[in-house]
Structure 1
Amino acid sequence: ILVKGDPIPYVSRGGLKLEKAMKNFDLTLEGKVCMDIGASTGGFTDCMLQNGAKKVFSIDVGYGQLAWKLRQDERVVCMERTNIRHVTIEDTKEFADFASIDVSFISLKLVLPKCKELIRENGEIVALIKPQFEAGREKVGKKGVVREKSTHIEVIQMISDFAVENGFEILDLDYSPIKGPEGNIEYLIHLKVTNQPFEFDSENHNKKILAVVEDSHNLSK
């Protein structure tokens, strides 16, 4: 059988999440130092490199997962068996311009403050909001799936508020083009690191949350 055109141009489907974020959030990574937090096989890392990243720190608590072609790439710094919460600027020796966060079994509330130490002022982040790891246990259904629209809205609002309180400006929001394991809908949030005061239009952002959650559920039917 001849399959024309590679359906996934990255080492894993994860790259499609960042690809959507880049298109919809108008991101450019050309010449930037990037960080892939929760790298796994390296789909995000691959997408970063294909979009001109100068260097990528690929960080994961696991071991032996990063694709061989990325390990061989001199632009990639493979940081395995590494918990992002323990990484310091002494480890990276430079501030990143951009970071992606795709982590499991841990809340973004534990990861975002650390990112602030590792990313330069006005640097950007695209993080996956995963309701199954943010909602209280009583709101997570069978097989770890969160189906309730109201819980999705609640979780995104909670992470948004946390981000703003911790010096991140919210630039945009969308849903991930790929569901998580077991069919969980996940969301992409675009943040900017800032120590300057900024105006947060919570009313507009809440409207955006409702619209994005609505769209994500309509597509899932």
Structure 2
Amino acid sequence: MAKERVDVLAYKQGLFETREQAKRGVMAGLVVAVLNGERFDKPGEKIPDDTELKLKGEKLKYVSRGGLKLEKALQVFGLSVDGATTIDIGASTGGFTDVMLQNGAELIFAVDVGTNQLAWKLRQDPRVVSMEQFNFRYAEKTDFEQEPSFASIDVSFISLSLILPALHRVLADQGQVVALVKPQFEAGREQIGKNGIICDAKVHQNVLESVTSMAVEQGFSVLGLDYSPIQGGHGNIEFLAYLKKEDGASNQVALEIEKVVERAHREFKDE
């Protein structure tokens, strides 16, 4: 498990505007872990880089800060899950599931290969079906008691090319998808830098061109593209893609890719 300084992690997760502010905030005891409330007061302390942090006393909008990714996607792509049956692929703690619940989803299949990760309050919600130790790449329509019309994807250590074929089998016709594109899991090894970080905008562009073309080949139109408001592991820039399962699938963002990558790099240039 890779580790990162507490102050750097707090800065990358957007708790402070500058690294100096993050350093002072940690020293003042303002930074705590979301999971167990552990307080950190040494800026240089190294902790696992997937540790979610928050400010002391801060009430998070969702069970995971990662929920902000799907929140942005619903807003910028103009999507609604109100009354829908949905799948959260790579649910983990349940940030995306929480967003769907708060936006009126009727039934959510929270799918993850892991176990005991989904937040307790989501496990207790009758609208949530927790499907642990479930490898979605082998999913079939019969695995789900209702046909979903919306899906979110936030998976790690696996390419979307292994997820979309299964999703095409499971999702309703005209079903909508928000997929988090993680270049560090899509690019070739030779394109990935030290500590698994991709800093090259050209690599990001190539990955998005490849992933969007692949999505069309799998029967999904690509209707929207933007960057994630939160960086991924090690500070990697990630992207949000809006897909739709339909006949005659097409790529409607091909001419936007370069501009989206440029905006993302401007947003995170100092991080």
TM-score range relative to shorter protein: over 0.9
Q: Pick from 108, 115, 139: which aligns with 1:56?
A: 108
Distance 1:59 1:198 in 2: 26
Residue 197 of structure 1 is matched in structure 2 by 248
Residue 209 of structure 1 is matched in structure 2 by 257
Residue 179 of structure 1 is matched in structure 2 by 231
Residue 15 of structure 2 is matched in structure 1 by none
Distance 2:82 2:145 in 1: 20
Distance 1:126 1:87 in 2: 18
- Are the equivalent residues in 1 in contact too, given 2:222–2:250 (CA < 8 A)? no
Aligned AA (2:96): F
Compute the displacement of 1:199 (Å): 5.1
List aligned pairs for 1:153-172, cutoff 5 A: 153-172=205-224
Higher helix share: 1
Structure 1 length-normalised TM: 0.94
- Are the equivalent residues in 1 in contact too, given 2:220–2:249 (CA < 8 A)? no
- The alpha-carbon distance between structure 1 residues 199 and 47, as it changes in their structure 2 partners (threshold 3 A), is closer
2:149 counterpart SS class: strand
- The alpha-carbon distance between structure 1 residues 91 and 200, as it changes in their structure 2 partners (threshold 3 A), is closer
User: RCO greater where, 1 or 2, for CA within 8 Å and sep 6 or more?
Assistant: 1
Aligned AA (2:257): I
Residue 218 of structure 1 is matched in structure 2 by 266
Q: Pick from 143, 148, 161: which aligns with 1:91?
A: 143
Compute the displacement of 1:95 (Å): 1.4
**2:73 corresponds to 1:21:** yes
- Larger displacement relative to structure 2 (85-94 or 173-182): 85-94
Provide structure 1 residue ranges, at least 5 long, that are not aligned to the other structure: none
Quote the sequence identity (%): 52
Question: Residue by residue, what CA displacement relative to the aligned partner does 1:95-125 show, whole Å, maximum 9, x if unpaired?
Answer: 1010000000000000011101111000000
Coordinate RMSD, CA, aligned: 1.6
Residue 115 of structure 1 is matched in structure 2 by 167
Q: Pick from 52, 76, 80: which aligns with 2:132?
A: 80
Larger radius of gyration: 2
List aligned pairs for 1:21-40, cutoff 5 A: 21-40=73-92
Q: Which runs of 4+ in 1 moved over 6 A?
A: 1-5
**2:143 corresponds to 1:143:** no
Compute the displacement of 1:94 (Å): 2.2
Question: Residue by residue, what CA displacement relative to the aligned partner does 1:57-99 show, whole Å, maximum 9, x if unpaired?
Answer: 0000010000000000000000001110122222112210100
1:120 counterpart SS class: coil
Provide structure 2 residue ranges, at least 5 long, that are not aligned to the other structure: 1-29, 31-54
Distance 1:200 1:108 in 2: 16
Aligned AA (2:102): Q
- Number of equivalenced pairs: 216
